């Protein structure tokens, strides 16, 4: 949760639990300057290892992201697929 707080630059009073994260994602007063007008895109990277190590927590995280995005039309949460074991030359044939 500290990683989320740092990455999203959440205020010091952020509660560092899933409910607090859900509230913060939907609270436009804690968004970066200009994000309310333009919208906010949060890209979650490096999640594969976390999902494998802590599947129950990852399920909760997905619920929090989906709920916040559903409640807040100008918020988009995307999961970055990251790297691949396929080499670029393999894709080209």
Q: Mean pLDDT over residues 33-43, rounded?
A: 90
pLDDT of residue 86: 45
Q: What is the pLDDT of residues 41-90, one digit of tens each?
A: 999 988 899 999 999 999 999 999 999 999 998 999 999 986 545 444 44
All structural domains of the chain, each given as residue ranges with its CATH number in brackets, are: 2-82 (3.30.370.10)
- Region 17-26: mean pLDDT is 92
3-class state of residue 77 by DSSP: strand
Eight-class DSSP state of 30? G
pLDDT for 21 equals 93
Q: Which helix (H) or strand (E) holds 78?
A: strand 75-79
Q: Which two tokens stand for residue 41?
A: 């895109």
Residue 65 tokens read as 């992201």
């Amino acid at each position: 949760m500290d990683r989320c707080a740092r990455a999203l630059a959440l205020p010091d009073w952020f509660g560092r639990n899933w409910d607090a994260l859900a509230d913060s994602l939907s609270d436009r007063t804690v968004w970066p300057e200009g994000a309310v007008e333009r919208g906010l895109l949060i890209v979650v990277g490096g999640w594969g290892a976390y999902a494998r190590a802590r599947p129950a927590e990852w399920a909760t995280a997905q619920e929090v992201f989906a709920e916040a995005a559903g409640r807040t039309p100008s918020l988009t949460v995307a999961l970055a697929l990251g790297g691949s074991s396929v080499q670029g030359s393999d894709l080209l044939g």
